[in-house]
Structure formats: structure tokens, C-alpha cells
A = this chain, B = another copy of it.
Amino acid sequence: MALPIPGKPVRGSKSGQPIMALFDLLGRNWAMGIIWNLNEGSCTFRELQNRCETVSPTTLNVRLKELTSAHIIERTLDGYALTPFGKELFDLLLPIGKLAKGWSEKF
């Protein structure tokens, strides 16, 4: 799938509003899970595979390339890691995690 570029048509918006471009990216299978898991610390491809439990190497690799192109993650000597922007994004995902706990009681 092509990288969603803000300003150009993406899934959800012909004008490519930034939020829609980001939703396009984050909405892809495993994207948020990868960010979530990477926040626990930089790690190798295979370690990340373990943390994500059921992701296939194919999908993981595609997602990693996309997230890297989008400056959300990067490769360091320790392996894959969140960029400063990726960390900001994680910080915004965190309250959603808290909300999810309350939500889970509805089931």
C-alpha cells in the first residue's frame, strides 16, 4: 500500500488532510500495536515479532518500512526505536489505553 502523504489524496480524504493521512497510516493492521510495543524499548525485528505475538514477518516488515518513511520509528544501534515524534504520538495513545480499560467493562 502506498504511503499516505498529507496533502495528497489518501483513504478518507481526497484533499489529504493531515489527520486523515495519519489515520490512514495508523489504521493499517498492526501499526498502533507496533508503536505501543516499541515504547517499551528499542528492540530487534525478532523481539518485536515476539512482543506482537501474532504478527507475520511479512506484515511486520511492511509496516516497519512505512512507519520509518513516516518518521515515526527509526533504526538505531539498538534496533528499531520510536523517533521523538513517535514518542509524542505514543503519549497521545496512552490515554486511549486508559479509556480502553473502562470500555472493556461494557462487555
Contacts and interface: CB of A to CB of B under 8 A. Distances in A.
A41 interface: no
Interface in A84-101: 85, 88-89, 92, 95-97, 99-101
A18 B106 CA distance: 11
Interface string A1-34: 0000111000111100011111100111111110
A26 B27 contact: yes
Contacts of A71: 103, 106
Contact of A19 (B13, B27, B97): B97
Interface string A40-67: 0000000000001111000000000000
A80 interface: no
A23 B5 contact: no
Interface of A: 5-7, 11-14, 18-23, 26-33, 36, 52-55, 70-71, 85, 88-89, 92, 95-97, 99-101, 103-104, 106-107
